[in-house]
Amino acid sequence: MYDEKMVLCASSAYEQKYYFNQDFSSLPDTIKDELHIMCVLFTEEVGGILTLRFDENGSLLIETEADEGDLLYDDIACGLLVKRIQKEKQELLESIELYYKVFFLGEDIEI
């Protein structure tokens, strides 16, 4: 069984780095590129750290955090941007969830 906090990808404004979990290397390059762009643009706009991870049920979570002393981190813009991503990228995020549930959790999905 996989870790209940399986990270898909993350981006940090502090280290100006992007991380992609190689366990997901079989995802199409277009999806990996879209995740990369989405995460980096997010942290460039609001700062902090953005993490996309799966919970124990296979749901994809978007988590953000900031250093305690980060005065430039915009909490309100962060919340709004997460909601916008969830709306605009809904199909992408749902597809990645389905991929995880089938290939990592071994669930049978009826189409």
Q: Mean per-residue pLDDT for 15-44?
A: 97
Q: What is the 3-state secondary structure (H, E, C) of 53-78?
A: EECCCCCEEEEEECCCCCCCCCHHHH
Cα 98 to Cα 75: distance, rounded to the nearest angstrom: 30
Beta bridge partners of 51: 10, 63
DSSP element (H, E) containing 29: helix 29-46
What is the rounded average pLDDT for all residues in the chain?
Answer: 93
Q: What pLDDT score does 26 carry?
A: 96
Percent of the residues in the chain that have a pLDDT greater than 90, as a whole number: 86
Coil, strand or helix: which one is 6? strand
Instruction: Tell me what pLDDT residue 1 has.
Output: 44
Q: Mean pLDDT throughout 19-46?
A: 97
Question: Where in the chain are the domains?
Answer: 6-103
* pLDDT at residue number 3: 53
